[in-house]
Amino acid sequence: MKFLACLLFVAFLPITWETDFSTAQKIAKEEHKFILLNFSGSDWCAPCVATRKDYFDSEAFANMAKDNLVLLNADFPRKKKNQLSEEQTKKNEALAEKYNKEGSFPLTLLLDTDGKVIKSWKGKPEATVDGWATEIKAACNSHK
């Protein structure tokens, strides 16, 4: 019984989000994956919260992501209790300067290992969770 409980726990581990572009890029190159960069306002942006809950936390997304993506989050919280370190804030601002000059939230970008944008999604995805996961995987496959 303990073995089964451990197996179930491992099977449902939450997906990991990197917070440093260089780290995500290194992992993506080593593992031959793409980078999915998400700009979010985790404590003020309702569509960002819904995207995380409905899409990123889904089993369909997690299953697709584990084989294809290195996940990178650039968060811009507003509440004082959720503020990031000065170093992390600077990293996120640099990513926004390069990839999100319009300040769209949420904004999700599929990048190759060189940081080139392959595909982008503004706002909460309109497709179903399964449909969006399939769309991302198809974009990855077409750029291998």
Token output for 139: 């974009």
Which positions ≥6 away from 52 have C-beta within 8 Å?
A: 40, 42
Residue pLDDT, tens place only, 12-68: 557 899 999 999 999 999 999 999 999 999 999 999 999 999 999 999 999 999 999
Confidence category of residue 144, pLDDT binned at 50, 70, 90: confident
- Angle, vertex CA 15, rays to CA 24 and CA 88, nearest 5: 45
CATH code of domain 14-142: 3.40.30.10
3-class state of residue 34 by DSSP = strand
Cα–Cα distance list, 134 to 46, 60, 65, 118, 129 (Å)? 24, 9, 10, 15, 9
Q: Looking at residue 143, what is its pLDDT? A: 94
* Threshold 0.85, pTM exceeds: yes
Q: What is the mean pLDDT of residues 110-123?
A: 97
Residue pLDDT, tens place only, 75-113: 999 999 999 999 999 999 999 999 999 999 999 999 999
What does the domain layout of the chain look like in residue ranges? 14-142
More confident residue, 26 or 144: 26
Token output for 125: 């995805």
